[in-house]
Amino acid sequence: MIKDKLIIALDVNTLKEEERLLDILSPHVQVFKVGMELFYSCGAKAIDLVKKYDKDVFLDLKFHDIPNTVYAASKAAVKFGVYMFNVHASGGLEMMKKAVEGAEEESEKLGVARPKILGVTVLTSMDKEALKKTGINKSAQDQVLNLAGLAKEAGLDGVVASPEEIIAIRKSAGKDFLIVTPGVRPEGSEADDQKRVATPKEAFQRGADYIVMGRPITKAKDPVKMLEAI
Ligand code: C5P
């Protein structure tokens, strides 16, 4: 079951390193996350490599631009053949609607399933003080719920949310809204720079559909043993 619920973050900057991780982990995991570090280092080859292993890609580039540009970028994400990608919910309702529209049009044209589109609500690095400096006078939790509601209204499939936000989002957005949760750490492992962590078990109990994990597995001496423990 964990095979389909755990997304591995491929946070490396060479195809060689990516290949090493895929060699080790692809027999055990279905979805791999290609984020800014890998994509901006290696480009579309990083996506193609995951697909060569018959695995699915979560393209984590957090689009945030005017609606027309995000519409075009979403079409490009479909052309890459990714399984999932994301946009910043703070880009607004119109921008998110255009992401869905672009992805739908391109998927129809190519005769493929539309990728799942997630909204990034409030970055987990932002707290109340940091939000206030950007002009938002709300708690992070309230702003997360506000943006999750907007993402749902725009037709997005779900959101990326920290372990602390899962329960409130599940309650307000319902059971069919995907919740993808980073900041997950197996019991006894380092938190690294993640501030609010939960174990995989806790994240799923709270209602996460997928968990995203990078360093606890990719930097482990024996990544497969770590996976087995999870
Ligand atoms: O190594 P670690 O398990 O901390 O990796 C978590 C991954 O999830 C990283 O790729 C990070 O960029 C991403 N992420 C996160 N927190 C967010 C959004 C994305 O940790 N709020």
pLDDT digits (tens, 9 = 90+) for 159-172: 999 999 999 999 99
Closest Cα to atom 13 of ligand 1: 182
Q: What is the pLDDT of residue 216?
A: 95
Q: Which residues pair with 33 in a beta bridge?
A: 9, 58
> Rounded to an integer, what distance in angstroms lies between the CA atom of residue 82 and that of residue 80?
6
Share of the chain above pLDDT 90, in %: 90
Residues framing ligand 1 (Cβ under 6 A)? 9, 11, 35, 123-124, 160, 162, 182-183, 192, 194, 212-215
pLDDT in tens, 88-146: 999 999 999 999 999 999 999 999 999 999 999 999 888 899 999 999 999 999 999 99
Residue 111: enclosing H or E segment and its boundaries? none
CA angle 119, 120, 123 (to 5 degrees): 170
- pLDDT confidence of residue 51: 98
Contact 70, 93 (CB under 8 A): no
User: What sections of the chain are H helices per DSSP?
Assistant: 2-5, 15-25, 36-42, 45-52, 67-80, 93-110, 128-133, 140-154, 166-173, 200-206, 215-218, 223-229
Confidence band for 1, pLDDT divided at 50, 70 and 90: low
User: Where on the phi/psi map is residue 37: left (φ > 0), alpha (ψ -120 to 50), or beta?
Assistant: alpha
71 C-alpha to ligand 1 centroid (Å): 25
Which atom of ligand 1 lies at the shortest distance from residue 36's CA?
12
pTM for this entry: 0.96
Annotated active-site residue 128? The verdict is no
Residue 73 tokens, joined: 């970028």
pLDDT at 215 over 70: yes
- Banded model confidence at residue 192, pLDDT cuts 50, 70, 90: confident
Confidence band, pLDDT 50/70/90 cuts, at residue 230 = confident
pLDDT at position 157, please? 98
CA of 39 to the centre of ligand 1 (A): 15
Q: Measure CA of the first residue to CA of the last residue in the chain; give whole Å.
A: 11
Which residue's C-alpha comes closest to atom 14 of ligand 1?
Answer: 182
6, 10, 11, 226: which to mutate for ligand 1, most atoms within 8 A of CB? 11
How close is the Cα of 42 to the center of ligand 1, in Å? 19
pLDDT band at 196 (very low <50, low <70, confident <90, very high): confident
Q: Which of 63, 124, 212, 215 to mutate to test the pocket of ligand 1 (most atoms within 8 A of CB)?
A: 212
What is the per-residue pLDDT across 26-63, written as a single tens digit (0 to 9) for each?
Answer: 999 999 999 999 999 999 999 999 999 999 999 999 99
**Catalytically annotated residue among 33, 62, 98, 116:** 62
Token pair 């708690």: residue: 139
Does an H or E element contain 86, and which?
strand 84-88
Amino acid 125: pLDDT: 85
* 89 or 191, greater pLDDT: 89
